[in-house]
Amino acid sequence: MENEQNLNSQEENENAISQEDLQREIEQLKLQQNLPFGIIAGLVAASVMALLWAVITVVTMYQIGYMAIAVGFAVGFAVRFAGKGIDKIFGIMGAVLAFFGCILGNFFSQVAFLADYFDTTYSDILSIAFSDFSVITEIMVESFHPMDVLFYGIAIYAGYRYSFRTVED
């Protein structure tokens, strides 16, 4: 009976020590976090992936929904790598930036299609769109497809899920 109590006491001490070590490790990880750097990296990833999305869409003449998922993963990993965060704010920023990247990818695709249709330059279409922001809304509403909701949702989830490091026991 006494051996059992000593064994239980020893296990409790080991658990207490490991909890202290875990707390210390979490504090170390929090000191490494850099939200502004994570946001910048996520914004760069979202922009690059949006351009890639537009190029692929224009070349294939087909909007591939999986590009949205690729945007989410790329943004998530960029935020995680650069931001080194463990807090939920990194996930939230990853989700927001992934959604932004999806919208931007669709917008760039539509700008390219409109430039080809009207036989003009991309900058002409962009200047028209940015001179009257209702044009941007009109372009996006006109090109929206209900399936976009599914792919945007997966992209937002991926952007959230992969934007911060998880701490495991």
CA dihedral 117, 70, 151, 77 (to 10 degrees): -130
Q: Residue 22: give the domain boundaries.
A: 1-32
pLDDT digits (tens, 9 = 90+) for 13-29: 555 557 788 788 888 87
Is the confidence at residue 169, as pLDDT, over 50? no
Domain identity same for 126 and 148: yes
Tokens at residue 26, please? 């979490």
**Taking a C-beta distance cutoff of 8 angstroms, is the pair 127, 114 a contact?**
no
Average pLDDT over residues 42-71: 95
Domain identity same for 13 and 95: no
Average pLDDT over residues 53-66: 92
> Which of 90, 95, 100, 97 has its CA nearest to residue 34?
90
Quote the pLDDT of residue 24: 84
Q: What average pLDDT does the structure give for the chain?
A: 89
Domain identity same for 92 and 144: yes
- Between CA 110 and CA 128 the distance in angstroms is 13
Quote the pLDDT of residue 94: 98
Residue 168 lies in a domain: no
Predicted TM-score (pTM) of this structure: 0.84
DSSP secondary structure letter of residue 61: T
